[in-house]
Amino acid sequence: MDVPIILIVALIAGIISIGMALYFAKLVMKEDPGNERMVEVSGYIEAGAKRFISVQYKMLGIFVVGLSIALLFLPSPLKGSATYDRIFPDALNWEQMIAYLIGSVGSMFAGWLGMFVGVKANTRAAQGCTISTKKGFDVAFFGGAVMGLAVVGVALIGVSILYWVIPDPTIILGFSFGASSIALFMKCGGGIYTKTADVGADLVGKAEYNLPEDDPRNPATIADNVGDNVGDIAGMGSDLFDSYVASIVAAMMLAASFAVLGVIESPLVDVTLSDAGKAIFVVTPVVFCGVGLISSLIGIYLIKWKGSEEPGKALNTGTYFATLIYFGLSALITFFLTIGLENEEIGLLWRIWGVSAIGLLSGIVIGFTSDYFTRADRKPTRNMAYAAQEGHAVVILSGFSYGLISVVPPAIGIIIAITFAYLLAGVFGVALAAVGMLAIVGTIVSNDAYGPIVDNSRAIAEQGDLGEDIIRIADKLDSAGNTAKAITKGFAIGAANLTVLALLFSFAIEANEIEPGSLLPEDMNLLSPNVLIGAFIGVVIPALFSALLILAVQRNAAIMVKEIRRQFESNPKILSGEEAADFGKTIDIATKGALKELILPSIISIATPIIVGILFGVASLGAFLAGAILSGFVFAVMMSNAGGAWDNAKKWIEDGNLGGKGTEIHKASITGDTVGDPFKDTAGPSINTLLVVMSLTASIFLGFLLLFNGGAGLIRF
């Protein structure tokens, strides 16, 4: 299949994105890092982040090499099918192994670059606050934009070049698998790290010793700041990189499968594809993402331009403008894509454009629903703060209940998106809705990475003795960052679910291409024992995965609490401020604990789909993925929103409401925040990556699974 020249739009956009990321990094590095104490604190944070990333990447290197060797000897998912055009003469699966390595390295590079600039931007943003709110905002936002642009740039360059060299979306599946497996490690490891420190710092420093937020006397405060970078910048960036690439791959694989069939089916009309149409529809997802990246770049500049005394408004305005620009530019590129196509194909392409717009609008609705349920000035969070008057248990009950309620609006948004997408363009439409939802991911990740930078800036402003006025400015920037992170998590959850649904459709079509009749619609009957078993296992896995991550935080936080108490009790001069706390010890506890605890959840995410496929067959594996998608959505939304609301309820009380700091009400809210920390920053967001990794594992190992009784599995009823 010839590769349309229009694909160059995505490649050029990716190159520009990397160039702009490096330019923004240079701008940030030119800024004043502040006084000697600020530079010292920032140095502690940077050293801790680099140490964690260094050790984590060494572990990942061993994992990547081992898995790449396994992929080399794995049967290719489409070997022998009509679409499979083998480049190498021997039987080894070189193409997918190389693509996997490129995806892994790309994800690691994007995470490292974003984190490196983030730890440099924090002290510079704090110093910027001494000049004006706008200056502090600009430094922090450009620091976050490095992560956003690096994520999208690496993704588009990788996908475009791979498809140009080997025009088979199956090969890009390996690239996506590499991105996802790295994202799982980074999101889980970073999440465990940051909440180990955060929970320990709050339980002892705040609740027991009434120390302020980010007080330099608290031994865990530096580890907490390090966690913001390795968990929220590197981890969340890898998470969205993973979902972004997976959404592109799912849509491309579906388009390639329909190209083989010669028709794209939808409830409105079945469209027969010409040779030109087959080539165009396969690259449409990548081209739309390239347009989305250009829209994000414009949106990022608009955010800087709007940056003023209202940073939260500026962030939201930039998102709105990026959305509107995407609608216009994607319509223009759709017009060019229609040149040379048949009338039916032209109509389908315009419907696909509409589907991508619906996906993006759904993402915004889901994101701002998360905003409503987590903002301090909204009813749910205020009610949770008032619940603290009744005690610790009531705060937990209130937060858990509002978290469950918050699942309903996003679910409705997903249902509406799926309904319209399927009506307009069938299963291909569902895949393009996921692509649309992540089209402006450059803006979304930039907003998200801004959050931990200003969080660190607030800490450095306090530890650098910049005064209450500057701390209040930093608090204002931090508040906008909390809102931005809530919206980002909503986007990530919605996009991950649409993406894995598209991957599920792709999985079923691939199975039938390789082994005709191995996975037909009637095979997914829930009355079939194999299918029911698969669905049950799928429902359970997100719950087990979440439990393992939260227990990991609990175990590590217990060690952290003991260490903080030991330092306070053995050296009273720490509390008096006469001597510095031993930050290195708490950083070591968080690092070793996080890396040790992420191994089992990572193994489960890759091993479980393979085991289900071997034992119960590919139909059972399809049901397994469906069950995991549905239960994973509920867990991810509930935990992310409940955790965010507990956090903001505590902050609202700390602002002087309901008695303010040091009261029993405040201590009850700290309990809620402590429970919510691993909910919102460890388990909840990690489920997105879990779902994508399991779906990609199913597709990557499909050829292997079909060796077991033609895909029927070893255990048949």
Q: Is the pLDDT of residue 469 over 50?
A: yes
Distance (Å, rounded) from C-alpha 25 to C-alpha 515? 50
186-243 confidence digits (pLDDT tens): 878 888 888 888 788 877 877 787 777 667 788 888 887 787 777 777 777 777 777 7
Q: Is the pLDDT of residue 82 over 60?
A: no
Distance (Å, rounded) from C-alpha 640 to C-alpha 682? 9
Extract the tokens encoding 97: 């192994």
Distance (Å, rounded) from C-alpha 382 to C-alpha 622? 42
Q: Which residues on neighbouring strands pair with residue 272, listed in sequence order?
A: 263
pLDDT at residue 351 in the model: 92
Phi, psi of 264 (to 5 degrees): -110, 120
Distance (Å, rounded) from C-alpha 77 to C-alpha 643? 40
Mean pLDDT, residues 413-433 taken together: 88
Extract the tokens encoding 209: 């010793």
pLDDT at residue 404 in the model: 93
Nearest to 257 by CA among 479, 514, 556: 514
Distance (Å, rounded) from C-alpha 50 to C-alpha 187? 16
335-390 confidence digits (pLDDT tens): 988 888 888 889 989 999 999 999 888 887 887 788 888 887 889 999 999 999 99
Mean pLDDT, residues 643-671 taken together: 87
Confidence of residue 83 (pLDDT cuts 50, 70, 90): very low
Phi, psi of 8 (to 5 degrees): -65, -20
Which parts of 75-231 are beta strand (E)? none
**Residues in Cβ contact with 142 at an 8 Å cutoff, skipping those fewer than 6 apart:** 24, 27, 28, 121, 304
Extract the tokens encoding 683: 């388990």
Confidence of residue 307 (pLDDT cuts 50, 70, 90): low
Measured in whole angstroms, the distance separating CA 188 from the mean position of its chain's CA atoms is 11
- Count CB neighbours of 207 within 10 A: 15
Mean pLDDT, residues 250-268 taken together: 82
Query: Where is average pLDDT lowest: 234-238, 651-655, 700-704?
Result: 234-238
Distance (Å, rounded) from C-alpha 677 to C-alpha 198? 8
Distance (Å, rounded) from C-alpha 79 to C-alpha 702? 11
Q: Is 74 exposed, middle or buried (0-12, 13-18, 19+ CB in 10 A)?
A: buried
SS3 272: strand
Nearest to 264 by CA among 346, 197, 184, 322: 346
Nearest to 591 by CA among 220, 212, 239: 220
Confidence of residue 520 (pLDDT cuts 50, 70, 90): low
**Residue 262: what residue type?**
G
Nearest to 643 by CA among 607, 611, 603, 686: 686
**Residue 167: what residue type?**
P
SS3 264: strand
Q: What is the mean pLDDT of the chain?
A: 83
Q: Is the pLDDT of residue 597 over 90?
A: no
Q: Is the pLDDT of residue 104 over 80?
A: yes
Q: Is the pLDDT of residue 124 over 50?
A: yes
pLDDT at residue 516 in the model: 58
Which one has a higher pLDDT value, 617 or 261?
Answer: 617
Distance (Å, rounded) from C-alpha 417 to C-alpha 357? 10
Domain definitions of the chain by residue range: 5-711
Q: Is the pLDDT of residue 437 over 80?
A: yes
Mean pLDDT, residues 459-463 taken together: 83
Confidence of residue 518 (pLDDT cuts 50, 70, 90): low
Nearest to 249 by CA among 289, 209, 210, 215: 289
